[in-house]
Amino acid sequence: MENSEIKHIAIIMDGNRRWAKQNNIETSLGHKKGAEVLEEVAKYCNKIGLKYLTVYAFSTENWKRTKEEVGAIMKLLEIYLDRFLKTADLENIKLRILGDKEGVPENIRKKMLQMEERTKDNTGLKFNIAFNYGGRAEIVRATKIISKLVLDGKIEIDEIDEDMISDNLYTYGEEDPDLVIRTSGECRTSNFLPWQTTYSEFLFLNKYWPEFTTDDIDKAIEEYNNRHIRKGK
């Protein structure tokens, strides 16, 4: 890590259900294990001095899953947001939720806003959790905000540029991901950070998210560094 230029890792945490099925346990236990892994990974990324970690926890499409499964994920989120907040306080981590908070249950929305406010000045890892997130919807949202500025006469159309769009995404003020990891063997990006990952490296791993470990973070950084050395030659 010391000699690496990597600052931002983004992860599509995929395969919780297949892992549960493979182990003959309930789907909700797959998600529980996934949440435990996420906690370890976030702590580790902070420890090694990574600047940003962004994870895809729940897409706008995920509402289509059964009521039981969505309910189980919401319950887990409630528990883990509290745990992440405690860790963030202790370890100087800044938490941000990427996504449409209006669409999540009231009690969870309140927790999300509270933890963003309480950790906003923390200077360690910036830990973004994409929840009720869709990348195209994020760009539509930015377009509406900017259109309103034009309509209100606050800016001219010609002032609209790439920076202005970036500044109106959920990731405003942050650097783009250097590396995107997706677990479970699927090789798609599934509407995750389409604007922000234009220049990112991608790594697709043949293991389910609950099997992911901090060693995989080390290996991913090594792979990223090797690609960069090759690029430099």
Please pick, from the candidates 9, 11, 14, 212, the single residue that binds ligand FPP as defined by CB under 6 A.
14
Q: What is the closest distance, in whole angstroms, from the C-beta atom of residue 70 to ligand FPP in the complex?
A: 10
Phi and psi at residue 112, in whole multiples of 5°? -60, -45
Question: 169 with 138: CB under 8 angstroms?
Answer: yes
DSSP letter for each residue of 115-130 = HHHHHTT--S-EEEEE
Please pick, from the candidates 6, 16, 72, 221, the single residue that binds ligand FPP as defined by CB under 6 A.
16
- By C-beta, is 15 or 99 nearer to ligand FPP? 15
- By C-beta, is 38 or 217 nearer to ligand FPP? 38
Please pick, from the candidates 76, 137, 139, 149, the single residue that binds ligand FPP as defined by CB under 6 A.
76
Alpha carbons 34 and 82: distance in angstroms, whole number: 16
Element (H, E) at 176: none
Clarify whether 161 is annotated catalytic: no
Mask of contacts with ligand FPP, 19-58, x by CB under 6 A? ------------x--xx--x------------------xx
Alpha helices in 23-178 (DSSP H): 27-47, 67-91, 106-119, 135-151, 162-167
Question: Which are the catalytic amino acids?
Answer: 14, 62
Residues in contact with ligand FPP by CB under 6 A are 13-18, 31, 34-35, 38, 57-58, 62, 73, 76-77, 80, 184, 209
